[in-house]
Chains A and B, each alone.
Chain A
Amino acid sequence: MSETGIGARVKRVEDQRFLTGKGNYTDDINRPNQTYAFILRSPHAHARITSLDASAAQASEGVVAVFTGKDIAAAEVGGLPCGWQIHNKDGSPMAEPPHPMLVADKVRHVGDQVAMVIAETRDQARDAAEKIVVEYETLAAVTATDAAIKDGAPQVHDEAALNTCYDWELGDKAATEEGFAKAAHVVKIDVVNNRIIPNAMEPRVALGDYDRSTGDYTLFTTSQNPHVIRLLMGAFVLQLPEHKLRVVAPDVGGGFGSKIFHYAEEALVTWAAGKLGRPIKWVSDRSEAFVTDAHGRDHRTHAELAIDGDGKFLALRVSTLANMGAYLSTFAPAIPTYLSATLLAGVYTTPAIYSEVRAVFTNTVPVDAVRGAGRPETSYLLERLVDRAAKQTGIDKTELRKRNFIQPEQMPYQTPVALQYDVGDYPAVFEAGLAAADYSGFEGRKAETESRGKLRGVGISTYIEACGIAPSAVAGALGARAGLYESAQVRVHPTGSVTLFTGSHSHGQGHETTFAQVVSDLLGVPFEAVVVSHGDTAKVQFGMGTYGSRSLAVGGAAIYKACEKIIDKATKIAAHILEAAEADIEFKDGNFTVAGTDKSMAFGEVALAAYVPHNFPHETLEPGLDENAFYDPLNFSYPSGCHICEVEVDPDTGVVEVAKFTAVDDIGRVVNPMIVEGQVHGGVVQGIGQALLEGCVYDDEGQLLTGSFMDYAMPRADNVPFFTVAQKSVMGASNPLEVKGVGEVGAIGSPPAIINAVVNALEPLGVEDVTMPATPMTVWQAIQDAQAR
């Protein structure tokens, strides 16, 4: 391995600009003659707009324009589209109510956008918005899924009876019932996967610009996938063709899913820039982000596991209520279904599984993918259930898992819920996890903790996730309205340096480093000679973007393919110049050599020849060295792992401290171990956040009570320990780099390990269940309730 190639711990090239304050985030960009937008939002969760008077705002100092829902309704624009269509059990399509950019008639969540004021300065826009007089007739609101489906519940949309978006099923119901008929034990659990707020540290920003002389639109936006935004906004909302619309996502300060989706503000500033002929910038406040960035999770699930007398799982049935919020966000319908229920086998051989999901509208912020997206919900359900099964059957929790693991020799393994796992060695990963966590030393640590008057628990979780999203044919068959391939272009310059154009956007993942390592390794050029370009539809040919841990598995595979094409072309050129047959040219370590001779050309010499084609046979050999590739994955990739957490609980206060956390993951080939570890750390802390701190609370009127960093507990440095992170990589994933994806593993594996540890710690006090987030209050209450029983 070279010092900068695949597998090397290369320091990040992006860090210089970030560390010196020279990053280029969307809010750092300003255009000449720029105006500022402020969005007036609904203070009510559910209300009819009976009147709206913007005349005082229009006359306010510095105001350029005010647009309302009526203006949008009268304009030739569409609503915000949903990218995934789910079908009901009876085959009919889901309810898909309109999602306008500005609401004209009825607001459906606190934060719903009602009007947009554009002024010369941000403060003038904000001041003017306060002068808009809106009269509302407030309606009863519903925020919880179980309340939303009751007869007589407030109706969020007329199009969705009983607030139901869809009622979907997967799996063989009859086979599952048979499994239950044979069961020696039936283990039941109810879990709530708490609603979380993604809170990337950079708030969303959108800056729209229009050039009257050319008719070209430009949108600068905080997006994980600028091409997807161009596609959705251009084709569905504003009807602008791609060649007239440029979308730029420059440096983006974290996404975690929340910046995948197409939001109203992006379309509003672009549309209005065209109307006014001036640039318009909108910057979200953090308070605004809390009520407009798509939230995550919010599933309520009942599950039952049938087990035979030997502790083998026979069947699993699962019923989930999933909150969609007030409108369907871009990928929302796919999260509880195809990204969640399809993983219900986990790493276990459960032969029969039946799952049903009812998705409901409520008067809350739309819910969509947040780091893990559907897979944390499944791992949490399964691993809590398995721990409970261990207790109920009296089989040790490690032993019960081992008895049910899919074995490596069963690969490829067809699960009963649609997926086919390609490679994996779950027993080996599990053993590696136990060893790394010094599981056998737990009792000693527990005794030490108890000597200080505290309780100690250990929790285990295993998980599997489907990444490398997604084979387009599969995704299409399941309701995706887009393909999910990725694209790469490798442009070799005459001097042998390389620009890689990739559709995978980087917003913290370090692609500018990792991808350069891959290209440098494959082409044998120095790492420093490769630059990575992403995030601008005017530069990058196409892309489906960054989410679902797909960048290296899909985007990296496209890079691999483009590099192969470069090598093929360069081989032709070398063969011509070295006067040898193409078949005799060998490419190794950046040199093209005629086999068995010392006749050789370095990559840089071939690059130069490609652009100085003085004696090329033009019929058979084109000048230039610039290749494009699209890669559509053959299968998902399947990272798996074992996370083990030890907690200390203060029984008097309910305070839980994560005392020790170990993550051992199989993510396939590792390109940059430093970046991989960082991804796991970050994911695990988001999992700790969900498990112990973060919970979204709405009151009965639909007001978000956890609407700022004062009320919504983000993990801070003193809430978490150092982590033990290791990889147990199994090669053979179904993509040329044999990578599996690492961005989400931390957030998927950790919550069940943490809560299993808390429950384990509290077992001596009679506690059987603890809900997320396990705040001191929740834990203390669980202790009191158990003792009162």
Chain B
Amino acid sequence: MPTVSMTVNGKSVSADVEPRTLLVQYLREHLSLTGTHVGCDTSQCGACVVHVDGVSVKSCTMLAAQADGAEVVTIEGLDDNGTLHPMQEAFRDNHGLQCGFCTPGMVMSALDLVKNNPSPSEQDVRDWLEGNICRCTGYHNIVKSIQAGAAAMRG
């Protein structure tokens, strides 16, 4: 079994995994980082979004081996010892989550949007979220959260 090594949330990690292991399995099963979720098997729902070298990626759609040597950030890597990142805080303030299952993917995806578009319009946010499905919130408060999070990050 090949050894796959990467940096996850700032820590170097390494594991021997079967070649077919997906990045999401590597994170959940080998590193016990269960904040990244699996909501589908067709790369549609976005519950699994993480950052690989600073870009949002569906971790169900990438082999762990493809992330060998990469910098990976998951939802567990955002808060500072329990103090929420402004985007996480915005989701709480705006009730941008209900069951919480889509939430890690939504937050990670939102951060990638805001990196490139610090002041997204409603339509920008809605278009960007094309690959993230939420069954609970009706998106209303997710869109508000992301706009508020972006504003907080602009300072």
Chain A residues engaging chain B, CB cutoff 8 angstroms: 11-12, 14-23, 25, 27-28, 123, 199-203, 251-254, 256, 285-287, 507-510, 674-675, 677-678, 681-686, 708-710, 714-718, 720, 722-723, 746
Query: What's the Cα separation between A424 and B32 when bound, in Å?
Result: 51
Cβ contact within 8 Å between B101 and A718 = no
Cβ contact within 8 Å between A201 and B44 = no
Query: What's the Cα separation between A764 and B76 when bound, in Å?
Result: 55
- When distances are taken between beta carbons in the complex, the residues of chain A under 8 Å from B99 are 200-202, 251-254, 507-508
Query: What's the Cα separation between A286 and B47 when bound, in Å?
Result: 12
Cβ contact within 8 Å between A25 and B101 = yes
Given contacts A508-B99, A723-B138, A717 and B132 within 8 Å (CB-CB)? yes
Contact of B92 among A12, A201, A677, A717 (CB under 8 A): A12
Query: What's the Cα separation between A290 and B20 when bound, in Å?
Result: 25
Cβ contact within 8 Å between A21 and B135 = no
Query: What's the Cα separation between A275 and B20 when bound, in Å?
Result: 31
- When distances are taken between beta carbons in the complex, the residues of chain B under 8 Å from A123 are 18, 20
Chief secondary structure at chain B's binding surface: loop
Chain B residues with a Cβ closer than 8 Å to the other chain, count: 56
- When distances are taken between beta carbons in the complex, the residues of chain B under 8 Å from A200 are 99, 101, 135
- When distances are taken between beta carbons in the complex, the residues of chain B under 8 Å from A286 are 39-42, 45
Query: What's the Cα separation between A201 and B137 when bound, in Å?
Result: 12
A252 to chain B minimum Cβ distance, whole angstroms, is: 7
Cβ contact within 8 Å between A717 and B35 = no
Which 6 pairs between the two chains have the least Cβ-Cβ distance? A21-B35, A253-B101, A18-B100, A508-B99, A681-B138, A685-B138
Contact with A along B95-122 (1 / 0, CB 8 A): 1011111111001000000000000001
Chief secondary structure at chain A's binding surface: loop
- When distances are taken between beta carbons in the complex, the residues of chain B under 8 Å from A22 are 35, 76
Cβ contact within 8 Å between A21 and B74 = yes
Q: How many A-B residue pairs have CB under 8 A?
A: 182
Cβ contact within 8 Å between B84 and A19 = yes
B140 to chain A minimum Cβ distance, whole angstroms, is: 4
Query: What's the Cα separation between A201 and B134 when bound, in Å?
Result: 7
- When distances are taken between beta carbons in the complex, the residues of chain A under 8 Å from B132 are 716-717
Contact of A675 among B41, B47, B95, B143 (CB under 8 A): B95
Cβ contact within 8 Å between B41 and A287 = yes
- When distances are taken between beta carbons in the complex, the residues of chain B under 8 Å from A199 are 135
Cβ contact within 8 Å between A678 and B100 = no
When C-beta atoms are compared, the residue in chain B nearest to A722 turns out to be B140
Contact of B42 among A11, A685, A708 (CB under 8 A): A708
- When distances are taken between beta carbons in the complex, the residues of chain A under 8 Å from B44 are 708-710
Contact with A along B33-51 (1 / 0, CB 8 A): 1111111111011010000
Q: Is there a chain A Cβ closer than 8 Å to B93's Cβ?
A: yes
- When distances are taken between beta carbons in the complex, the residues of chain A under 8 Å from B35 are 20-23
A19 to chain B minimum Cβ distance, whole angstroms, is: 4
A783 to chain B minimum Cβ distance, whole angstroms, is: 27
Q: Is there a chain A Cβ closer than 8 Å to B75's Cβ?
A: yes
- When distances are taken between beta carbons in the complex, the residues of chain A under 8 Å from B84 are 16, 19-20
